[in-house]
Structure 1
Amino acid sequence: MEPCESWAALAAGGVAGVCVDLILFPLDTVKTRLQSPQGFRKAGGFRGIYAGVPSAAIGSFPNAAAFFITYENVKSVLHPGSASYLSPATHMVAASLGEVVACLIRVPSEVIKQRAQVSPSSTTLQILSHTLYHEGIQGLYRGYKSTVLREIPFSLVQFPLWESLKDLWSWKQGHVVDSWQSAVCGAFAGGFAAAVTTPLDVAKTRIMLAKAGSSNASGNVLAALSGIWRTQGLPGLFAGVVPRMAAISLGGFIFLGTYEKTRQLLL
């Protein structure tokens, strides 16, 4: 991958990440509160819908940039000489590695953001200092494993589906898809991936919001899923699925469309 292409992927990914995180923040807050152990009303209801937005604003650019520069570089390394039928596997590997790298930045931002979303009376800075004081740096990485375990299956569904839909649309119309068409493909791919990975998202939220020393604070994803299933059944595992699908469908449209358009302009 050429240096200019790497810089374009980094910048385009960062711009796309900031756009989607800030535009769709209220839906993300509603989803987090629906999934929180204390319930939607006690977590804040519709009050303070932008609680935690500073954390999202600071983390979104480097997080998205890290994902896309990894994704594009891994694709360029694996793709040359590969048969076309191996393209989905290439996209899966590239997306998975991109998520592992991006989560190093995403998780601390997500921990502070989610705790602020369910404690709208506290500021982002207060929550950050409280987390560091009581849990140290490892507190900021609470839920790293559960986040990676959520993001990898999500990306395994979303990115091959996105790339396949773009290829199909390009073949149907006889030329490469435009950025808005890429955005439509991203919306479908994101919405579908969001629906099937919602239980993992609920488990991740419970782990990040758990009190220090509690069973969920250990970060065991299977234990968290089992606990949700025992106490709330299927509705608990799919808590927040509607706002999650709405946010990620819109997010896929904005994120992948903005990424393609910005990358085209930079190149």
Structure 2
Amino acid sequence: MSEGPSALKRAGREAAIQIMSGGSAGFVEICLMHPLDVAKTRFQVQSNAADPERYKSIADCFRRMIRSEGFFSIYKGILPPILAETPKRAVKFFTFEQYKKLFRYDVKDTPVSLSMAGLFAGLTEAVFVNPFEVVKVRLQTDKNKVSEQPTTFQVARSIYREGGLGLRGLNFGLTSTMIRNGAFNMVYFGFYFSVRDRLPKMDSDAATLALRILTGFTAGTLASCFNIPFDVAKSRIQSEGHLPNSKYKGCLQSVGVVYREEGFRALYKGLVPKVLRLGPGGAVMLVVYEHMRELLEEKWPPYE
């Protein structure tokens, strides 16, 4: 009888350690890498090739933003992802583990089962994070000076007044977020966990960590290349789709509009800042997560 409550207590403690470690890792990663997310969004919403105000490079984007909108403009929209990050990591990894059990073949994880688990974890995660994404994109694409820009809560309230919590309000563009997150996590989890277990054994912990970081960087890069057309569509929908007579309606329809009007390369707008963020950002999260988990397990052993 005592084993049941004890096992439940251990599971709860282990989950708490994972949530706190993942939240800390996400917070640090966002604080360091958010400016690249702002640049990515700015590139993605540019549609007129003849516009003289178009950004020519990441450096040009940062330089012009800081000059015209103030230094802290490169951190526009940072509060929504910070508020979402801790529960987002909990949702992502917890649901991945549950879906992994569901799609597991016999008793083994396969690349297909891992990819399917990643896909459904991404779809589940998107339902939670979409309201934060709507507010973040609206803030990131506002070209007013930071001092003149409405606050995060004012923007959220304005969007809520437009359409409430529904698909015309804070859940605007939900389908595009689900497709974007599902596609990314399908490739990322499927690749990373399939390759990780096949990595050669290294002589030191540092070498093992470096190899896993490289694997994570590769997984993030491949996933970014795969899902960025849907990310472009999401940015267009959530930045302009609420406007009257917007041509951006749904995710796949928006991909088609961008392709017809701007060409294939336009579907990969913002890829460089996205990869630059997800590469080092993934490494930052892994290092912080492992450090925090070891620290918490030392102070609060989950198996005692």
TM bin, normalised by shorter chain, reads 0.7 to 0.9
CA distance in 2: counterparts of 1:160 and 1:175, whole angstroms: 26
Q: CA RMSD in A?
A: 2.8
Gaps of 5+ in 2: 1-7, 56-60, 67-72, 298-304
Instruction: Please give the TM-score of this superposition, normalised by the length of structure 2.
Output: 0.76
Aligned counterpart, 1:173 = 202
The answer to whether the 8 Å contact 1:6/1:73 transfers is no
The answer to whether the 8 Å contact 1:191/1:245 transfers is yes
Instruction: Please give the TM-score of this superposition, normalised by the length of structure 1.
Output: 0.86
CA distance in 2: counterparts of 1:153 and 1:67, whole angstroms: 14
The answer to whether the 8 Å contact 1:142/1:217 transfers is no
The answer to whether the 8 Å contact 2:220/2:279 transfers is yes
> Given the alignment, which residue of 105, 117, 122 partners 2:140?
117
- Counting only pairs closer than 5 Å after superposition, residues 98-247 of structure 1 correspond to structure 2 as 98-121=121-144, 122=149, 123-138=151-166, 139-169=169-199, 171-173=200-202, 178-212=208-242, 213-216=244-247, 218=249, 220-247=250-277
Larger Rg: 2
- Counting only pairs closer than 5 Å after superposition, residues 78-89 of structure 1 correspond to structure 2 as 82-83=107-108, 86-89=109-112
Three-state SS of the structure 2 residue aligned to 1:116 is helix
1:242 partner letter = V
Which stretch of structure 1 is more off in the superposition, 36-45 or 246-255?
36-45
> Given the alignment, which residue of 284, 288, 291 partners 1:254?
284
2:202 partner letter = Q
1:251, distance to aligned residue in structure 2 (A): 2.0
Identity %: 27
> Given the alignment, which residue of 28, 31, 41 partners 2:37?
28
The answer to whether the 8 Å contact 2:24/2:288 transfers is yes
Aligned counterpart, 2:3 = none
Which stretch of structure 1 is more off in the superposition, 103-112 or 90-99?
90-99
The answer to whether the 8 Å contact 1:216/1:223 transfers is no
